[in-house]
Amino acid sequence: MTISKKFFLIVFLLVVAHYNPIAVESPGSRPGKLAPASVRLTNSYSSSSEFDDCLPVVNSFMKKWNVQGAAVAIARQGKLVYARGFGYADTAAGIETQPYSKFRVASISKLVTAVAVMKLMEEGKLSLDDKVFGPDGILNDSCYCYPRDKRVFNISVAHLLSHEGGWSQRYGDQMFMPHVIAREMKCSLPVDTRTIVRFALSKRLHFTPGTGRSYSNLGYSILGLVIEKISGMPYEDYCTTAIFEPLGIYDIVPGKNLPEEKAPFEVTYYEPAGMPLRPSVYGTGELVPVRYGGNDVEALGAAGYWLATAPDLMKLVLAVDGFDYNDDILTESSIELMTDVNNNISPLGWKTTLENGTWIRTGSFAGTAAMIKRQPDGLTWIVLLNSSAWNGPGIHTYINRMMASMVSQISDWPEYNLFDNTLPVPIRFELTGIY
C-alpha cells in the first residue's frame, strides 16, 4: 500500500470514528446509525467571528416570514467559504438545521435536468433540434404517437428546455391535477409522469411550438423521459453517474411524498397556518396537507423532485458557472448556450440570466422555497428553506434582499475552501455503537 493510500485510509477512519450527527432517524426506520453520504460540514465551521453580523440578518428574515429552518451556502471565487444551518430541521424533535440537512429544491431541479440534456448533447447522443414525439421522435412509443394536436410532432428538445413547447397553465398545471387526469384517463391514483404526458397529448396545444414561451413543469418532466430514452437508464441514474458522482456529490437524491418516506437527514416541511387541505394524490379520500401528499412530488420527476444539501448544490452550480476558478462539467459553448441572453433560446435550466452576468434559479412549492444566485463578481449563494410563505414564489424577492444585506456585513472574506473538509463515505455507512 502506497503512503498516499495509507494516509487516506487513516484520515477516513479518524473522521468516521469521531463523526457525531445531530439528526436522529426515527427508531426502527433504518438499521444502524446513518451518516450523511459525505462526512459533512457542521455549523461550527461557519460560526467564527467574521460572520457574527450575518446571524441577526438571517434570524430577522426567518422571524418575519415564520421560517422554521434554513440553510445558507456562499462561494467566493470558486471556494465554499460559508455553509450554515439556521433554526430547526424538525421543530417537534428539536433537531437543528445543519449544512448536511436535505431540502426539497422544487424547480431548481430543472437546472439539473438542463445540465443532463447538455451532457447528452456533448456526448453526441442527441441534438437540441431533435423532435421529441412522432414516429421519428425520441419518444416514439405508440402511446405518444397519436396526439390530438399534430403540432406536437414539431416539438423539439430545445422547445422543452426553453418553455416553448406549446403548453401553458391556462387551464391549470398538468403536473398538479391528478384527480382530473385519473378521471379522464380512466386510471387509478396516483397517476405517474407518463400518464400525465398522455393526458396532455389528448388536448390541444395552447400555442404553436416555438412561437411563444410559457413556464411549463410538464415540459421538463417530459425531458426526464427523453433523458431516460436516450441514456438507456432511469433519469435518476443518469444524473447520478454523469453529473453528481464525477463532481463528488452524494447528497442530491430524489424526494418522496410522505413524511414516513423521508430521506436520511431530510428536513420537515411547514406551511403557513390556515392553509387549506387537499385530497390525497393516492386517492384515499383523505384531505391532507399539500406538502405531504396533496402534491405529487414524485410525479414531477425532472421538473422538481430533487432533494439537496446547500453545499452539494453549490458543487453543481460551481461546475456550470462559467468562471475560471474551477473546471466546469460542461463545455464553455454549452454554458453559453444555456445563459446567453442574446441567443433567443436561453435561459435553459436557469430561471433568469441577465446581460451583466447575473444568473438566478428559484424553486418553491408548499413547504419549501429555494434560490440560487450567481453574481458577476465571482460570488454565488444558495438559500434553502423548509417553510413556504403566504406569498408563494414572492418570497424570493425577500430572500434576495436578505442575502444582499448578509453579504454586505462581510468585510474580510476567508481564503479557505470548506469543501476541503468533506470526505465521501458510503451512503448507508453504519456507525454501530457510535453516538
CATH fit for domain 49-107+251-421, picks 3.40.710.10, 2.60.40.420, 3.10.20.740, 3.40.50.1110: 3.40.710.10
Q: How far apart (Å, rounded) are the C-alpha atoms in residues 2 and 8? A: 10
CATH superfamily of 112-237: DD-peptidase/beta-lactamase superfamily (3.40.710.10)
Q: How far apart (Å, rounded) are the C-alpha atoms in residues 414 and 54? A: 14
Q: Give the three-state DSSP class for 86.
A: strand
- Fold match between domain 49-107+251-421 and domain 112-237: yes
Task: From first to last of the 435 residues of the chain, give the pLDDT tens digit.
Answer: 554 444 444 444 444 444 443 333 333 333 446 778 877 799 999 998 889 999 999 999 999 999 999 999 999 999 999 999 999 999 999 999 999 999 999 999 999 999 999 999 999 999 999 999 999 999 999 999 899 999 999 999 999 999 999 999 888 999 999 999 999 999 999 999 999 999 999 999 999 999 999 999 999 999 999 999 999 999 999 999 999 999 999 999 999 999 999 999 999 999 999 999 999 999 999 999 999 999 999 999 999 999 999 999 999 999 999 999 999 999 999 999 999 999 999 999 999 999 999 999 999 999 999 999 999 999 999 999 999 999 999 999 999 999 999 999 998 899 999 999 887 775 544 443 333
Q: What is the per-residue burial (b if ≥16 Cβ within 10 Å, else e) of 65-85? A: bebbbbbbbbbbbbbbbbbbb
Indicate the domain borders of the chain.
49-107+251-421, 112-237
> Do the bridges between strand 368-374 and strand 379-385 make them parallel or antiparallel, or are there none, so unpaired?
antiparallel
**Contact between 406 and 29 (Cβ < 8 Å):** no
- The answer to whether the predicted template modeling score (pTM) of the entire model surpasses 0.85 is yes
With cell 426567518, the residue in question is 62
Q: What angle do CA 309, 314, 320 make, to 5 degrees?
A: 135
**Contact between 166 and 209 (Cβ < 8 Å):** yes
**Contact between 318 and 326 (Cβ < 8 Å):** yes
Look at the alpha carbons of 109, 396, 87, 294 in this order and tell me if their dihedral is positive or negative. negative
